[in-house]
Amino acid sequence: MAISDIKFGTDGWRGIIAWDFTFENVRRMAQALADFINLNAPSDLGEKTNIAAVGYDRRFLSDKFAADIASILKLNKVDVTLLDKPVTTPVMSALSYTKFWITIMVTASHNPPQYNGIKIKVDGGSISGRLTKEIEEMLDQKSILYIPGHQVEATSGLEKLYFKYIASKVNTKKAASLKGKVAVDYMHGSAAGYMQQLLGEKRVVALNDSHDPCFGGVKPEPKESSLTELKKTVVKDKCILGAAFDGDGDRTALIDEKGKYLSPCMVSAIVLNHLIKTKKAAGKVLQCLSMGYLNKRIARAGGLEFEEVPVGFKHIAERTALEKIAFGAEESGGYCWNGLMPERDGLTLIMFIMEIMASEKMALSELVKEIEKEYGASHYQRRDFKLSKHIDKTAMAEKLKKKLPKKILGHHVAETYTFDGLKIILDNDEWLLIRPSGTEPVLRLYSETGDKKQTEAFLDFGEKLASAFK
């Protein structure tokens, strides 16, 4: 297999187990990581105390892949700690934020069960594209130091540092003061049991919390189409809200007390609005290209600068190290704000939403109505289509842009962005994004308008426009 076949995508390297994500390739990657760490790790760690940690999720063979990575790092004289049980990616991010210089997480996040992957975290967020290129260039430059049977003794209890981190960033006592139960769909992922640790067993109605590498036959991504059971549970058990985690716990979706799904555009709007109103948020508002107009309108009203960046939370994370960012959001359920580590973190988001509910003394549906009254309705949808192979984003965007009419759905095309797929913005802020996934052969269509039927019509237009690539 060629070196070029191991590439980092939007957030990490992912592949199909036994096809390209093999023990051989994982060991190649582990040796490159060891070389990278030995070359770049500082001699003075400052407040941190350790060099590297390796964690893993509940996917098939994740623990075995992690054990091999830790073993190769150890044989290369890297001070490495291997966790003893599945954890979420935010746990590993928090460990890189507080205790370790670098952490490696074996996970394919929300990808289908046949996938696995590797994420790398530094200073609480995803490693930069510049550094992942350095790691790629180190592949196969040295022989792999691997000894069959060599093991690193696993360490327990490190996830406690993550819960300590949450308590330092969110008023968990206020959040827990809300009366009523919370329904949680863990989607068989590694976040299972985390809400109970913060709220107690009696407060949580848990769904799909068993360890199942096949994720119950459902892709572990908290999209609305996968949350029917959660919606019904929220209503049946009279819960104050519902929440769903993806396979590695960094993404989340929310359901209000009436069983209605909240789009990421609405969730981010609630958070940003609260940060400006009560926390006096200052700095720039960033969002990924696949988000919509609510944050733009709220930032404008609050006098904050607003900017869109390519899809992938790492693009927001990288900017937080360079400038003052008041708030960042992405479509896949990733949110961060000033004072947090630059990372998607489903559990922190849920607890902060509960803090907002307690502070405002409002149900989740009431918070939605408040946003709609002040900033307009938002009907956001996404459609995915499988591709036979990956396609070039830039070439696709430029080709589709040439086919665009001057008016769509009765509105003039005001702007187009082609730096990450093709985003079409109409003169009334409504928009459509056509973008190939960076981690799997899938074409994604996103749209947001003020009316559900209008959104569907916009998606239909986008599907027809991109039909040649499907």
Chain centroid, CA 223 distance in Å:
13
Angle 20-22-28 (CA atoms, 0-180°, nearest 5)? Answer: 95
This model's pTM is above 0.85: yes
1 confidence band (pLDDT: 50, 70, 90): very low
* pLDDT for the residue numbered 3: 46
pLDDT at 4 over 50: no
pLDDT at 2 over 60: no
Nearest in space to 211 (alpha carbons), one of 233, 240, 186 = 186
pLDDT at 335 over 60: yes
* pLDDT for the residue numbered 10: 65
Per the prediction, the chain carries an average pLDDT of 94
Nearest in space to 187 (alpha carbons), one of 203, 217, 209 = 209
Beta strand 261-262 pairing with 252-255: antiparallel
Overall average pLDDT of the 389-396 stretch: 88
6 confidence band (pLDDT: 50, 70, 90): confident
Angle 45-86-161 (CA atoms, 0-180°, nearest 5)? Answer: 40
Q: Where are the beta strands (DSSP E) in 277-396?
A: 284-288, 306-309, 325-330, 334-337, 379-386
Percent of the chain with pLDDT over 70: 99
Nearest in space to 268 (alpha carbons), one of 251, 291, 236 = 291
pLDDT at 48 over 60: yes
425 sits in which H/E element: strand 422-426
129 confidence band (pLDDT: 50, 70, 90): confident
Residues 151-177 pLDDT 10s: 999 999 999 999 999 999 999 999 999
* pLDDT for the residue numbered 439: 66
Residue 401 · residue 418 · CB < 8 Å: yes
DSSP conformation letters of 223-286: -GGG-HHHHHHHHHTT-SEEEEE-TTSS-EEEE-TTSPEEPHHHHHHHHHHHHHHHS---SEEE
Angle 196-202-206 (CA atoms, 0-180°, nearest 5)? Answer: 55
pLDDT at 399 over 80: yes
User: Which ranges of 170-227 would DSSP assign to H, the alpha helix?
Assistant: 172-176, 194-199
Cα–Cα distance for residue pair 320/334, rounded to 1 Å: 14
Overall average pLDDT of the 434-459 stretch: 91
Overall average pLDDT of the 234-253 stretch: 97
Cα–Cα distance for residue pair 262/134, rounded to 1 Å: 39
Overall average pLDDT of the 311-330 stretch: 88
128 confidence band (pLDDT: 50, 70, 90): confident
Residue partners of 96: CB distance under 8 A and separation at least 6: 53, 102, 103, 121, 122, 123, 124, 125
**By mean pLDDT, which of 159-163, 375-379, 464-468 is the weakest?**
464-468
Residues 189-241 pLDDT 10s: 999 999 999 999 999 999 999 999 999 999 999 999 999 999 999 999 999 99
Q: Which two tokens stand for residue 445?
A: 């269509």
* pLDDT for the residue numbered 468: 80
Residue partners of 49: CB distance under 8 A and separation at least 6: 99
pLDDT at 324 over 60: yes
Overall average pLDDT of the 427-433 stretch: 94
